[in-house]
Amino acid sequence: MADKKTIVLFGAGSGLGASLARRFGRENYRVALVARRAGPLDEHVTELAGAGIEAAAFPADLTDLAGIPPLVRSIEERLGAIDVAVYAALPPDVGFVPAAELDAAALKSMADIFTFAPVEVSHAVLQGQMARGDGAIVIVGGLSAVITMPGLSGVGPLMAAARNYVLTLNAEVAERGIYAGTVSIGAMLDRSTGLRALTGGGKMLDPNFPMIDPDVVAQEIWSLVTRRDRAEAIVPPLPPS
């Protein structure tokens, strides 16, 4: 059996994080799970162990930007080189703001988790990947980073900045054996924390709101990382214009 590789899931939850852990775990990856709450992470580790997947929990607040480099070093010290890093942190209480109502204070309140943290994670992970000449980084965002969605600003401009960063990064480091890509999701993830937050207390989700299985997104990320033939994916795909 080939030597194990390591994937780190920054913002590992019950939706996409769980799907990515299983998808990469089936390919002999060990999995590092990063999120704020230790309890759910430990539960995920136990579930993955039951499926024969080696995993470890690293509780951390990704808005603590100064804590990201030592967090990455602690993962490397415990699990070895980070072959793949996926940033998919999404607070359950995030709210969109119409562009006409957006001000600097509102933007600053969301900037750490949607712009600064993914850049800092990428920068920290890149150090080892550049030295080895191999590795992959994927930043996951929403569709408002790509297309105009009236009424859904705030998060969109911040994710658009992270998207621009990772596409530029890929253009710079591809020749050095590093892949950097982005996935923009235009639907609610089934089984996710965000879905539970929206439907808590018996609230009903708009039946016209698109839903996607996180396994589909995980497979798309697997394809990006292994094929490296494109730096961006939108799921579900946009209809032809």
- Read out DSSP for 173-213? HGGGTEEEEEEEE-SEETT-HHHHHHHGGGPPPPTTS-EE-
Write down the pLDDT at residue 192.
Answer: 54
Domain positions in the chain: 5-235
What is the per-residue pLDDT across 23-51, written as a single tens digit (0 to 9) for each?
999 999 999 999 999 999 999 999 999 99
> Number of H helices and number of E strands within the chain?
8, 9
For position 19, what pLDDT does the model report? 95
Task: Please list the ranges in the chain whose pLDDT falls under 50.
Answer: 1, 195-201, 204
Taking alpha carbons only, the member of 6, 23, 40, 8 closest to residue 213 is 23
Query: How far is Cα of residue 55 from the mean position of the Cα atoms in its chain?
Result: 17
Q: CA-based Rg of the chain, rounded to a whole angstrom? A: 17
- Residue pair 145/186 in contact by the 8 Å Cβ criterion: no
Q: Which of 225, 162, 229 is nearest to 9 (CA)?
A: 225
Q: Which amino acid is at 16?
A: L
Reading the block at residue 205, the tokens are 């989700």
pTM of the full structure: 0.92
The pLDDT assigned to 1 comes to 43
What is the pLDDT at residue 196?
46
CATH code given to domain 5-235? 3.40.50.720
The letter for the amino acid at 128 is G
For tokens 């750490």, what's the residue?
112
For residues 241 and 238, what is the distance between their CA atoms, to the nearest angstrom? 8
- List own/partner pairs for 172-178 with CB under 8 A and 24 or more apart: 173/126, 173/130, 174/228, 176/130, 176/133, 177/129, 177/132, 177/133, 177/134, 177/135, 178/126, 178/129, 178/130, 178/133, 178/134, 178/135, 178/136, 178/137
48 alpha carbon, distance to own chain's centre: 19
